[in-house]
């Protein structure tokens, strides 16, 4: 069953341009193709303005990437934002986020975004240690990361978030503790702490296969995850999603739309949308995206109507990322009691292994399940098929 077509949606804009590609990145991003920014801008505006969802209320807008602070605010971000506000009915309290890179953002740029109505910024800090930043191939220094955070604060965004990475090559547990302490000392409203995953096709994957990239042991990663949970909890951050921690009132409303399996529109190269039970993914390369839009008037390279089972699998995989878990009655109302019944043996099995906490009406990951979240979610997903 689908969410009502009158519910507000989330709107995602993908800005694929970066100054340089980080060796671990597998997002739809490009470096050295800034000559495409102008045509990208007019194309993404056209894609937004021709959306079949025109007129729908939007509870959040999120400019992600790539690096939204790498492109010109005036000639790229401004027209795209105008296309968004001219196409969708932004709710008065809509959350409007952009991702910022410390290497391409300063006090002036933060103020521009703030004056244009952006009320949330997510800064890709990754680490406060220059050696870790170098290993990750980042262009900014630790000092620049601190300065970015302070400038964002001074611009008075409603929420300032920062991203951190743990499990970087040669990163010690002690160093990770220092990163967490520095982050807490800067008092952002929200922190996302991701374990580094080496994705196929990236330079890090080649180095790993060649034996030249030291990968942390599983126990080290688990210790780092535990450290994040404890340190951030002590500092008053609610751990509300596997990788996300927020001061009260600062949970990311845009991402909550994904995790609660609601509808979202998405524009730009490689952007994935989910509306009306249909998942679509746009052409991934900026040049291909521009070309496809010019030839066909649509950027969609892949489209799939999800069956009830697929929707249930997604709802589980995403919903269980939230620490408060999922209400069984809501699953039953949406997908039918039969579907839920089919899950019972797998849930009982995972509960018996101490990985899932199954109550009378809620199911959620236990602390042990959280440490093995990906495995647990895959096991449950297999049971829905």
Residues that bind ligand SF4 (CB under 6 A): 18, 21-22, 25, 27, 29, 65-67, 101, 124
Beta bridge partners of 165: 194
Smallest gap from residue 101 Cβ to ligand SF4 (A): 6
The answer for residues whose C-beta is within 8 angstroms of residue 295's C-beta and 6 or more apart is: none
Q: What is the DSSP letter of 200?
A: T
Nearer to ligand SF4 by Cβ, of 22 and 358: the residue is: 22
Nearer to ligand SF4 by Cβ, of 29 and 280: the residue is: 29
The answer for residues whose C-beta is within 8 angstroms of residue 60's C-beta and 6 or more apart is: 10, 11, 94, 95, 96, 97, 253, 254, 257
Nearer to ligand SF4 by Cβ, of 25 and 224: the residue is: 25
Rounded Cα distance, 271 and 267, in Å: 6
Smallest gap from residue 29 Cβ to ligand SF4 (A): 4
Tokens of 274: 């989910």
Neighbours of 189 (CB within 10 A): 21
Our measurement of the distance from residue 15's CA atom to the centroid of its chain's CA atoms, rounded to an integer in Å, reads: 14
Smallest gap from residue 346 Cβ to ligand SF4 (A): 35
Smallest gap from residue 30 Cβ to ligand SF4 (A): 9
Nearer to ligand SF4 by Cβ, of 65 and 319: the residue is: 65
Nearer to ligand SF4 by Cβ, of 125 and 331: the residue is: 125
Asked if 10 and 59 count as a contact pair (C-beta separation under 8 A), the reply is yes
Rounded Cα distance, 382 and 360, in Å: 23
Nearer to ligand SF4 by Cβ, of 138 and 190: the residue is: 138
Smallest gap from residue 16 Cβ to ligand SF4 (A): 8
Smallest gap from residue 321 Cβ to ligand SF4 (A): 21
Nearer to ligand SF4 by Cβ, of 25 and 317: the residue is: 25
DSSP per-residue codes, 41-94: HHHHHHHHHT-TTTT-EEEEEEEEES-TTTS-IIIIIHHHHHHHHHHSEEEEEE
Nearer to ligand SF4 by Cβ, of 9 and 18: the residue is: 18
Nearer to ligand SF4 by Cβ, of 136 and 322: the residue is: 136
Smallest gap from residue 96 Cβ to ligand SF4 (A): 20
Nearer to ligand SF4 by Cβ, of 29 and 87: the residue is: 29
Smallest gap from residue 320 Cβ to ligand SF4 (A): 26
Best CA proximity match to 77, nearest among 116, 125, 107: 116
Q: What Cα–Cα distance (Å) separates residue 237 from each residue in 53, 154, 193, 244, 364? A: 36, 21, 12, 9, 19
Smallest gap from residue 28 Cβ to ligand SF4 (A): 9
Residue 241, SS3 per DSSP? strand
Smallest gap from residue 153 Cβ to ligand SF4 (A): 22
Beta bridge partners of 97: 62, 120
Q: What Cα–Cα distance (Å) separates residue 60 from each residue in 95, 120, 280, 302? A: 5, 10, 19, 24
Question: Exposure pattern of 267-288 as b/e (b: 16+ CB <10 Å)?
Answer: bbbbbebbbebebbbbbbbbee
Rounded Cα distance, 53 and 49, in Å: 9
């Amino acid at each position: 069953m689908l969410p009502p077509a009158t519910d507000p949606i989330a709107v995602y804009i993908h800005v694929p341009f970066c100054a340089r590609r980080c060796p671990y990145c597998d997002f739809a991003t490009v470096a050295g193709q800034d000559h495409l920014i102008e045509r990208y801008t007019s194309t993404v505006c056209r894609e937004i303005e021709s959306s079949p969802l025109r007129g729908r209320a939007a509870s959040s807008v999120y400019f992600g990437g790539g690096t939204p602070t790498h492109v010109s605010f005036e000639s790229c971000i401004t027209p795209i934002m105008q296309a968004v506000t001219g196409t969708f009915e932004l709710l008065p309290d809509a959350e409007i986020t952009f991702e910022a890179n410390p290497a391409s953002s300063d006090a002036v740029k933060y103020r521009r975004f703030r004056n244009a109505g952006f009320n949330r910024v997510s800064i890709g800090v990754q680490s406060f240690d220059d050696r870790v930043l170098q290993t990750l191939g980042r262009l900014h220094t630790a000092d620049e990361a601190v300065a970015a955070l302070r400038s964002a604060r001074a611009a008075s965004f409603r929420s300032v978030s920062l991203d951190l990475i743990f499990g970087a090559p040669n990163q010690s547990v002690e160093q990770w503790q220092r990163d967490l302490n520095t982050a807490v000392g800067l008092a952002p409203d929200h922190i996302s702490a991701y374990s580094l995953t080496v994705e196929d096709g990236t330079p890090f994957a080649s180095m790993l296969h060649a034996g030249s990239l030291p990968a942390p042991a599983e126990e080290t990663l688990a210790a780092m995850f535990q450290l994040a949970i404890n340190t951030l909890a002590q500092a008053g951050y609610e751990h509300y999603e596997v990788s996300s921690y927020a001061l009260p009132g600062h949970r990311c409303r845009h991402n909550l739309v994904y995790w609660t399996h609601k509808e979202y529109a998405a524009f730009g190269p490689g952007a994935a949308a989910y509306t009306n039970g249909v998942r679509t993914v746009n052409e991934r390369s900026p040049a291909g995206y521009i070309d496809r839009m010019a030839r066909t008037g649509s950027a969609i390279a892949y489209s799939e109507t999800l069956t009830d089972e697929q929707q249930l699998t997604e709802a589980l995989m995403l919903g269980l990322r939230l620490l408060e878990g999922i209400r069984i009655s809501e699953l039953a109302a949406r997908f039918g009691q039969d579907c839920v019944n089919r899950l019972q043996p797998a849930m009982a099995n995972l509960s018996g292994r101490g990985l899932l906490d199954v109550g009378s009406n809620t199911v959620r990951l236990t602390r042990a399940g959280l440490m093995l979240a990906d495995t647990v979610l895959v096991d449950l997903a297999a049971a829905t098929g």
